[in-house]
Amino acid sequence: MCVRLLVNLISQRSWTNGLKDLRFHDLRRTAATCLVGAHVPLSEAGRVLGHTQANTTYHYVNANIETARRAAAALDAFNAAGTLQTRAGRDGKVMKG
């Protein structure tokens, strides 16, 4: 099946089913997010999507609630352990990090 035909079919079916803003590209982003969420390495997810640069794949992956929770837990652990130390930034303002 040619890609253009597939894109048109998805657009037509999504419009018919009330998903007027759904685009084929949204499905690629969802696939990337699901693959990375299933612990598929970013480089492998990129190959599935046809990317040659991992940075391109990185832009496709959306954070989900599990990602946000893991990030918050990691920051909480750093904070609780006292590993975040105060230092001055380039502008002279005190910042954590």
Query: How far, in whole angstroms, is CA 4 from its chain's centroid?
Result: 25
For residue 97, tell me if it sits in a domain: no
Q: Is residue 55 part of a domain?
A: yes
Name the strand (E) or helix (H) holding 87.
Answer: strand 86-88
Question: Can you give the pLDDT at residue 6?
Answer: 63
pLDDT of the residue at 75 = 86
Token pair 């794949």: residue:
57
Residue 53 in any domain: the answer is yes
pLDDT at 28: 82
Which structure tokens are listed for 88?
């001055």
Q: What is the pLDDT of residues 38-62, one digit of tens each?
A: 889 988 999 998 999 888 888 888 7
Given a cut of 50, the residues of the chain with pLDDT beneath it are 97
Residue 86 lies in a domain: no
Report the length, in residues, of the chain.
Answer: 97
Distance CA 23, CA 10 (A): 8
Distance CA 91, CA 88 (A): 8
